[in-house]
């Protein structure tokens, strides 16, 4: 049971990172990314291929972050140059390209069989008994670091500028903000975060294949961000946890209602998530939490004690 909970918690950490990436891109800056799973796959495969080639884990992850960030920056730049609405199509296409490459370029990606035997970082030092727990601790630490970094960004003038671009890019531009640069940076930052998520996933199972990065991964991220409240990093953590709770809790339905077979359970799980999201949007259309807003008294007291973090 403990082992099961540790695995679930690690998966939630990865899902939270993916949702955070989407929250920067779409939640804050209004740039949709339907190729999110493709970015995670790109990150996972880059890390996997490099570690299998003998790179130390840290360098492999760093390289993977750079690859995904540059890819994110390029994709947003290309689609901005065309026209802003093209981002949806471009990211969808990117996701599909990544899927096809991972499936068909077997010499590089192992094709449908995937890449087994990805060396897990520090496995000799930690030892195999406690490794899963240590890995979870590492994953949670990474989530915490990304979370606090993003919170600082969100609470700064740049964070407000990103939200301004989302609300009305002409106004943001007329007030002196370089909208194109902000968009490219936000998309690149999101790309970098997906690479961290993908790398964790590669190390988690020490095996990756294309079936781990399907559209449902993207869908869960959107659900977490929408349920949590667009723009709120804390909200999406709550959102991702709720989704995982519904998914996993329904697993035990089989023990309670014995007439159901596995396929029916799987269908019911998705129905539960859908129903949960619809109910939430009826009763709390703005999501569980509100995004950060700067308020005047607190801001003028910048020299006073640090903000309480009240949202």
Partner 1 sequence: MLTIVDVGKRFGGVSALDKCSVEFESGKITAVIGPNGAGKSTLLNCISGALVPDSGSIRLFDDDVTGAKPHILARKGLARTFQISRELSSLTLLENLLLADRPSDPMSFFAPVFRRARVLDEQAEAVNRAMGLLRRVGLDRLADETASALSGGQKKLLELSRALMLKPRVVLLDEPAAGVAPPMVKVLIEVIRDLHAEGVDFVLVEHNMDMVAALSDEVVVMAEGTPLMRGDFKAVTTDARVAEAYLGGVV
Residues that bind partner 1 (CB under 8 A): 149, 152-153, 155-161, 163-164, 166-168, 170-179, 181-182, 185, 189, 291, 293-296, 299-300, 302-303
Block residue for tokens 């999501």:
287
61 and 119 in contact (C-beta within 8 Å)?
no
Cα–Cα distance measured from residue 10 to residue 56, given in angstroms and rounded to the nearest whole number: 22
Residue 301: CB minimum distance to partner 1, A:
8
Residue 251 or 293 having the CB closest to partner 1? 293
Q: In this structure, are residues 267 and 258 in contact, taking their beta carbons and an 8 Å threshold? A: no
- Orientation of helix 86-104 relative to helix 57-82, angle to 10°: 140
CB of 159 to partner 1, least distance (A): 7
Which of 192, 186, 276, 191 lies closest to 226 in space, CA to CA?
276
Strands (E), the chain: none
Q: Which is nearer to partner 1, 25 or 51 (CB)?
A: 25
Nearer to partner 1, 105 or 168 (CB): 168
> What is the C-alpha to C-alpha distance for residues 292 and 175, in angstroms, rounded to an integer?
21
40 versus 188: smaller Cβ distance to partner 1: 188
Buried b (16+ CB within 10 A) or exposed e, 262-278: eeeeeeebeebbeebbe
CB of 74 to partner 1, least distance (A): 17
Least distance CB 200 / partner 1 (angstroms): 21
CB of residue 180 to partner 1, shortest distance in Å: 8
- Nearer residue to partner 1 within complex by CB, 160 or 270: 160
Name the residue nearer to partner 1 (CB basis): 5 or 299: 299
Query: How far, in Å, CA of 215 to CA of 208, rounded?
Result: 16
Three-class SS state of 115: strand
User: Closest approach of Cβ 125 to partner 1, in Å?
Assistant: 30
């Amino acid at each position: 049971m403990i082992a099961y909970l540790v695995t679930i918690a690690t998966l939630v950490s990865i899902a939270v990172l993916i949702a955070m990436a989407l929250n920067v891109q779409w939640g804050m800056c209004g740039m949709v990314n339907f190729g999110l799973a493709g970015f995670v796959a790109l990150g996972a495969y880059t890390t996997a291929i490099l570690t299998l080639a003998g790179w130390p884990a840290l360098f492999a992850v760093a390289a993977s972050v750079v690859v995904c960030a540059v890819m994110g920056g390029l994709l947003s730049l290309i689609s901005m140059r065309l026209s802003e609405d093209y981002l949806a199509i471009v990211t969808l296409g990117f996701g599909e390209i990544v899927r096809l490459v991972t499936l068909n370029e077997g010499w590089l990606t192992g094709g449908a069989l995937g890449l087994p035997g990805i060396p897990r970082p520090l496995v000799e030092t930690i030892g195999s008994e406690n490794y899963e727990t240590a890995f979870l601790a590492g994953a949670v630490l990474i989530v915490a670091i990304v979370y606090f970094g993003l919170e600082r960004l969100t609470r700064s003038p740049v964070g407000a500028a990103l939200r301004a671009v989302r609300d009305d890019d002409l106004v943001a531009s007329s007030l002196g903000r370089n909208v194109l640069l902000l968009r490219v940076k936000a998309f690149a930052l999101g790309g970098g975060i997906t690479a961290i998520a993908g790398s964790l996933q590669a190390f988690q199972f020490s095996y990756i294949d294309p079936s781990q990065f399907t559209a449902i991964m993207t869908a869960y991220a959107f659900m977490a961000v929408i349920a949590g409240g667009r723009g709120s990093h804390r909200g999406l953590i709550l959102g991702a946890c709720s989704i995982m709770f519904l998914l996993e809790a329904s697993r035990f339905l089989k023990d309670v209602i014995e007439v159901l077979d596995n396929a029916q359970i799987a269908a019911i799980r998705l129905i539960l998530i859908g129903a949960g999201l619809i109910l939430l949007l009826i009763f709390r259309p703005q999501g569980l939490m509100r995004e950060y807003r700067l308020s005047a008294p607190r801001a003028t007291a910048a020299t006073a004690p640090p903000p309480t973090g009240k949202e």
